[in-house]
Amino acid sequence: MIKVEGLTKRYARTIAVDNISFEVDKGQIVGFLGPNGAGKTTTMRVLTCFLPPTEGSASVGGFDVLEQPMEVKKRIGYLPETPPLYPEMEVVEYLRFVGKLKGISNADIARRVAEVTERCALGDVRSRLIGKLSKGFRQRVGLAQAIIHNPDVLILDEPTSGLDPKQIIEIRELLRSLAGEHTIILSTHILSEVEHTCERVIIIDRGKLVAIDSVANLTNRLRGAEAVAVEVEAAGGHPDPSDVQQRLEQVPGVSRVVMKDSRDARLLFEVESLQGRHVRADVARSVVGAGWNLNELRSVGLSLEEVFLQLTAAEPKEKEAEPATEGGQKQ
């Protein structure tokens, strides 16, 4: 449904997207994952025909974004990072306007507006001014706007950013209910977001493609690679931090030890394991064996940055290429 080949987008001095290729099949929900400034929005803007690519090509439903933008635009529903709303319009008035703009005929417009207000639970605010709505409702109006013409492809830029947890769950449920009939690409910088809603993940960092995989495969690849917070206390007197560090590093399977904090006699370390290794038991044994007290041992989830480290460490080639992308960092 979506095909991107060798896509590069260069701004005056920076490379926002650097030679990215991927394909998305019909009916899939794909998460577009990357830290802020990774080039997610730029890629989406190319797909929606808002920005032309510098190099490479992108097509939606077999239509090229440069050659047949009208056909592409008809098939795409797009929710930018800030929903494109007119605050002086009422919700229904706005949806009618967007619907007609997207080419819905006068005969169908009322039915479509009723359908999307129902679907996005906007019934209570249908005749309120958009400018007076809360952030969560605005996001839903934005989503309603994107699906009003029943597009084949939905492109959503950070659909849950800035929402409270309850609203996030509502939006996620809405997205899952939309899957199947629509092909969805959604961008996010939150890992759990992808786990909850997507079937496949495309990870990009500083404009470069890091990984494309199914969510299940990706979690498999990362399974076991865990980070553990360890708090150590000496029974009497102060333990020597470098001593403890050394001892922790010697535990088999540990890849990295960082001291996070020290308070009185207590020292807090973060221990990261190699992939596929469970180190918690060994860490505990080692600490206790040295005669120190083990106050706390808890696993901390891998942050997105650590996922990147893991992924790039697994593919050394990618790591070598990293210094070359520094130009794109600002973007």
CB contact at 8 A, 87 and 131 = yes
Which CB, 8 or 219, lies closer to another protein?
Answer: 8
CA angle 185, 158, 57 (to 5 degrees): 40
Residue 101 binding another protein, by CB under 8 A = yes
Residue 103 binding another protein, by CB under 8 A = yes
Which CB, 1 or 47, lies closer to another protein?
Answer: 47
For the CB of residue 168, give the shortest distance to another protein in the complex, in Å: 22
Q: How many residues does the chain have?
A: 331
For the CB of residue 78, give the shortest distance to another protein in the complex, in Å: 5
CB contact at 8 A, 232 and 267 = yes
CB contact at 8 A, 156 and 143 = yes
**Considering only residues 27, 97, 126, 290, which one is a binding residue for another protein as defined by CB under 8 A?**
97
**Considering only residues 51, 175, 248, 251, which one is a binding residue for another protein as defined by CB under 8 A?**
51
Question: Rounded distance, CA 79 to CA 3, Å?
Answer: 20
* CA distances (Å), origin 103, targets 99, 154, 264, 294: 7, 16, 68, 66
Give the distance between the most distant pair of CA atoms in the chain: 82
The order of strands in the sheet holding 63-64 is 15-24, 2-10, 55-60, 63-64
* CA distances (Å), origin 328, targets 15, 206, 321: 5, 6, 13
Angle formed by the axes of helices 280-289 and 241-250, nearest 10°: 140
For the CB of residue 102, give the shortest distance to another protein in the complex, in Å: 6
Residue 62 binding another protein, by CB under 8 A = no
**Considering only residues 52, 162, 241, 301, which one is a binding residue for another protein as defined by CB under 8 A?**
52
DSSP secondary structure code for residue 129 in this structure? B
Which CB, 1 or 104, lies closer to another protein?
Answer: 104
Q: How far apart are the first and last CA of the chain?
A: 28
Residue 145 binding another protein, by CB under 8 A = yes
Which CB, 6 or 87, lies closer to another protein?
Answer: 87
**Considering only residues 80, 136, 224, 253, which one is a binding residue for another protein as defined by CB under 8 A?**
80
Which CB, 28 or 41, lies closer to another protein?
Answer: 41
**Considering only residues 67, 82, 301, 322, which one is a binding residue for another protein as defined by CB under 8 A?**
82
Site for another protein in 111-140 (CB under 8 A): none
Which CB, 153 or 311, lies closer to another protein?
Answer: 153
Which CB, 1 or 76, lies closer to another protein?
Answer: 76
In degrees and rounded to multiples of 5, residue 186 shows phi and psi of -125, 140
Residues at the site binding another protein, with contacts judged by CB under 8 A = 48-52, 70, 73-74, 76, 78, 80, 82, 84-89, 97-98, 100-103, 145
